[in-house]
Amino acid sequence: MENSESNISKINRRNLLKGGLALAGSTLLASNSLAAQVSNNDRAVTGKRKLGKLEVSNIGLGVQNMSRTYQTTIPSRPEMIRIIQKAFDNGITLFDTAEAYGPWECEKILGEATSSFRNKIVIETKYGWNIDQKTGQRLPGLNSRPEHIKVVVEAMLKRLRTDRIDLLYQHRVDPAVPIEDVVGAIKDLIKQGKLLHYGLSEPGAQTVRRAHAVHPVTAIQNEYSLLWRGPEETILPLCEELGIGFVCWSPLGVGFLTGAIDENTRFAPGDIRAIEGRFSPENMPNNLALVKLLQSWAARKKATPGQISLAWLLAKKPWIVPIPGTTQMVHMLENSAADSVKFSVDELNQFNQELSGISIKGLRLPQAVLNYSAVEAPTKP
């Protein structure tokens, strides 16, 4: 089984990027054939944990790329629906999307896929980018004006085919709108039964405190993985202090932690990873030490590098939930099976000791995108 899992990892993730998009079709056929041989990937997500008071599966599913992949290709909509439905069959109850994904298309896909089991899952989505509500055109900057939020939520409910949103995040803090005004609008929507919980994504720490003082924050959603551990400095301790859950976007480092990216990788035009400093030719050789560590532990634990990465996140805190995204069934099954990969106390200590010798070089995103993170909302006049 270990050899089969190793082969799947190489074929599905690494060779898909190394070999180029022209080989993608034949690669996927090969990967699906091999996937059937790996019983480990049939293991369901059985564990539960709490985001604040909201119970969800240990691992969620992100659907961001289901309307357009990193490589800028358009996935098969029927296949995306099958992946979402199979994820639910496999024990996943947390599904993540956003108004900006598409825009609007990923909410529509998720709504269609989950309509038959809507009451058995948790749907989380996000607002906050400045999107024209009539045309879907992405306008400059952000928009968290209270009246805009309420219009956005009405449209979300229709796209998601539901009467309420379980968890609604502000996608990025709006530097023009006091967070107290934002949470005031959220409270109105909660009173109307259109929202159940709310959260913030990539916020400044003081903004979290101010929001929590108006109405309890259920979860923070930030990038967090073995490749980017920035939240450990301020946000994770703050979540623990205030009893806030934490959801990790990009928990597999946009594919890097699976072994899919190395010094020979050439990204497709339009793939944002091509302009991320951590994947530059200067930084890649240094950063690949992390992948080698994961490959070593994957062999030891009879798992895949991606599963080791997710298991490490799950072992950090009982209120941390990763939401790996994918457009391939075999990857969703692999990610789900990470719930059964466990570290003993000694193993975790040893892994962290080996990890401490690795320092990642390069920015996680282009600076223009990073400028939207860790922003503090203005105070009320």
Kindly give, in sequence order, each residue whose CB lies less than 8 Å from that of residue 323, ignoring residues fewer than 6 positions away: 59, 60, 61, 62, 94, 96, 247, 248, 249, 251
CA angle 82, 329, 19 (to 5 degrees): 135
Helix axis angle, 345-355 to 305-316, nearest 10°: 110
SS3 69: coil
- What sections of 202-268 are H helices per DSSP? 205-214, 235-242
Answer left, alpha or beta for residue 250, where phi above 0 means left and psi between -120 and 50 means alpha.
left
Q: Which residue has the tokens 């969800």?
A: 56
Q: How far apart are CA 95 and CA 112, in angstroms?
A: 13
User: Active site includes 101?
Assistant: yes
Query: What token pair was written down for 45?
Result: 């997500």
Contacts of 12-15 spanning 24+ positions with Cβ under 8 A: 12/260, 12/328, 12/330, 12/331, 12/334, 13/255, 13/258, 13/259, 13/260, 13/306, 13/331, 14/258, 14/259, 14/260, 14/261, 14/262
Q: How far apart are CA 375 and CA 348, in angstroms?
A: 33
Quick one: how far is CA 300 from the chain centroid?
Answer: 26
Q: What are phi and psi of 165, to 5 degrees?
A: -105, 125
Which H or E run includes 123? strand 122-127
Q: Are 182 and 378 in contact (CB under 8 A)?
A: no
Distance in angstroms between the alpha carbons of the first and the last residue of the chain: 63
Q: Which of 70, 101, 224, 372 is catalytic?
A: 101
Indicate which residues carry an active-site annotation: 101
